[in-house]
């Protein structure tokens, strides 16, 4: 399967994210806080499977803001039911990106079940997402990201990625009360 570097894909998304609320989990979170530092980022490790649910809550609570979820394939596999719940709620402002690298990278890069065979966009479509696609090429992502983020959600994008550059794993920031307080303040202010 063809794959693009995850950090390069996230950089393209960051260029188009504007003032979106962003929920990022695990490895994508560590990269995202360097690529697009913002008080509007809700980042976490230790909540495997919950990024999509957190994103749904924000999308419902703040229908005036785009909500981008930067999920992982292993994380989504732990909460596939969220696809149905998101589709049922049908938030037009939710954009769900899954960084699909075929492994539980945070836990030693063990293969995820169904790695290379599971059809995440097919699951999202079957659940009722408004649109779903797979992208494995940076040029394709660059050419489509404006339409993806300009559409009505819920939208699902399977980003077929591999690890890029090494980023600091800033657990102190990730688990610290400071960034959560800043996120809450940014939500109230906007």
The whole model's pTM is what? Answer: 0.93
In a domain, 187, yes or no: no
Helices then strands (H, E): number in the chain? Answer: 9, 9
In a domain, 38, yes or no: yes
Total count of domains within the chain: 1
In a domain, 107, yes or no: yes
Supply the CATH number for residue 92's domain: 3.40.50.970
Q: Which token pair is 56?
A: 């749904």
Peptide bond connecting 91 to the previous residue in cis, omega within 30 degrees of 0: no
In a domain, 173, yes or no: yes
In a domain, 190, yes or no: no
In a domain, 70, yes or no: yes
- Per DSSP, the residues of 80-96 read THHHHHHHHH--TTEEE
Region 28-42: what's the mean pLDDT? Answer: 93
Residues of the domain holding 30: 4-182
In a domain, 133, yes or no: yes
For CA atoms 143, 144, 145, 151, the dihedral sign is positive
What is the structure's pLDDT at 178? 87
pLDDT in tens, 85-104: 999 999 999 999 999 987 66
Distance CA 122, CA 147 (A): 20
In a domain, 138, yes or no: yes
Q: Which token pair is 113?
A: 């079940």
If one compares 21 and 166, the residue with the highest pLDDT of the two is 21
pLDDT in tens, 43-94: 876 667 789 999 999 999 999 999 999 999 999 999 999 999 999 999 999 9
């Amino acid at each position: 399967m063809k794959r693009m570097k995850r950090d390069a894909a996230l950089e393209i998304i960051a260029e188009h994210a504007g003032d979106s609320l962003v929920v990022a989990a695990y490895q994508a979170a560590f990269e995202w806080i360097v690529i697009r530092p913002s008080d509007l980022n809700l980042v976490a490790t230790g909540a495997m499977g919950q990024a999509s649910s957190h994103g749904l809550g924000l999308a419902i609570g703040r229908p005036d803001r785009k909500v981008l979820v930067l999920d992982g394939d292993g994380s989504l596999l732990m909460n596939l039911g969220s696809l149905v719940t998101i589709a049922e709620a049908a938030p037009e402002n939710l954009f769900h990106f899954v960084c699909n690298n075929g492994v539980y990278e945070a836990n030693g890069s063990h293969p995820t079940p169904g790695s290379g065979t599971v059809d995440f966009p097919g699951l999202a479509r079957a659940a009722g997402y408004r649109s779903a696609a797979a992208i494995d090429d940076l040029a394709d992502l660059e050419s489509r990201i404006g339409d993806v983020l300009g559409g009505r959600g819920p939208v699902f994008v399977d980003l077929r990625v591999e690890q890029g550059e090494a980023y600091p794993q800033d657990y102190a920031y990730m688990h610290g009360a400071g960034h959560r307080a800043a996120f809450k303040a940014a939500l109230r202010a906007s």
